[in-house]
Amino acid sequence: MEKLPQVVLFLESSRGSGRAMLRGFASYARHHGPWAFNWEPGGLNEIWPRLSRLDVQGAFLRDGKHIRKVLALGIPTVVVGHHHEDFPGVAHVVTDSEAAGRLAAEHLLGCGFRHFAFCGPGHIHWSTVRRKSFQRHLKPAGRKVHFLKTPAEGYETSWKAEHAKMGRWLKSLPRPVGVMACNDDVAHHLVEACKAVGLHVPDQVGIIGVDNDELVCELSSPAISSVAINFERAGYESARLLDGWMRRGKNSGPARIAAPATHVVPRLSTDILAVEDAPLLKALRFIRNHARENVRVAAVARSAGLSRRALETRFRRELGRSILNEIRRIRVDLIAQMLIETDLPVSDIAATLGYENVQHIARYFRREKDLSLVAFRKRHGSP
């Protein structure tokens, strides 16, 4: 009887990201295995004393204390990068932090914020990439980004003291302010810090996180908007790569597996249009309320009670984009969300959103996302 390949999994299931990657890994194994799994949610510390005695053909782990010892065993390995940058000779799962910063910037700009801030560790690579991307995509609008450094994950600290520090920082910012947190955990701490100092979310402080960990986001009050990361896809692609390496008996790396940032999941923490210009506010609300319809610029201008030219001037001055650009941005985001979160055929999505035909929606989407509808769903949807 042929012996099943044994794979050790050192990923926690307490996080949405870890659970999603495990789902993707299991999905691949179900269709291309079978494999025997040795899953240790407690991490390497729990299994390390007996790991070298196990007949292991592959490993999928999050970097940590014993990572160099695991790599020294010479087994094909995929590493979920968090604390460290790349290790030579292995595959690395990395989040698309560049896209996460861009999506957060676009979302908060779309909410009408004119003041912005970022909160996260200053020396962790993925957090730094998110912050710099956030800053870069706000720069064309002439917006400055304030920055508060937080302790790295696992750092022994008193969050009561951190909340006080966050609260003082938040009160010092010009308001209303849109704040990007490096991840959902920090976003939750920001919400709690706002409560402690009497700041209202989202009226005074709009907050967006990253990872879209639904438990963290939904248990917060108010619920937290977040940039969704497709960890399930990353888990599936990790298993595919590891399978090939195990069949050949060695790594052919190094390689990178991207966990793509796909879209923003809006919740109450950014449910605001922070715009003081009343006609502009009416126009933005009209676009959002009619996003599923074939919205025309002339109709938007009528809703604001202004001429098209006058409203266009306000859009460009306050938001840095045209009325048509805003319509397209909202509509394309809606298309992207439906491609990722539903199995609806493209023809049904086109009909739902009032497009004349599939060719029309395809041209519209490719122009904004630089990807075809099929390619976007294949890259960002469930495996």
Q: Could you read off the pLDDT of 162-175 as tens digits, one per residue?
A: 888 999 999 999 99
**What's the fold here for domain 97-228+264-270?**
Rossmann fold (3.40.50)
User: Would you give the DSSP letter of residue 207?
Assistant: E
Q: Which residues contact 374 (CB under 8 A, 6 or more apart)?
A: 346
**What's the fold here for domain 6-95+231-262?**
Rossmann fold (3.40.50)
Q: Tell me which residues of the chain have a pLDDT lower than 50.
A: 1, 154-156
| Fold match between domain 6-95+231-262 and domain 278-369 | no
Separation between Cα atoms, residue 366 and residue 375, nearest integer Å: 10
Q: How far apart are the first and last CA of the chain?
A: 31
Amino acid present at 239: A
pLDDT at 213: 94
pLDDT at 246: 83
Longest dimension (CA), the chain: 78
Q: Read off the pTM.
A: 0.85
Q: Which helix (H) or strand (E) holds 225?
A: strand 225-229
CA atoms within 13 A on the CB side of 82: 16
CB atoms within 10 A of CB 375: 12
Domain boundaries, the chain: 6-95+231-262, 97-228+264-270, 278-369
CATH number attached to the domain at 278-369: 1.10.10.60
pLDDT at 1: 47
pLDDT at 236: 93
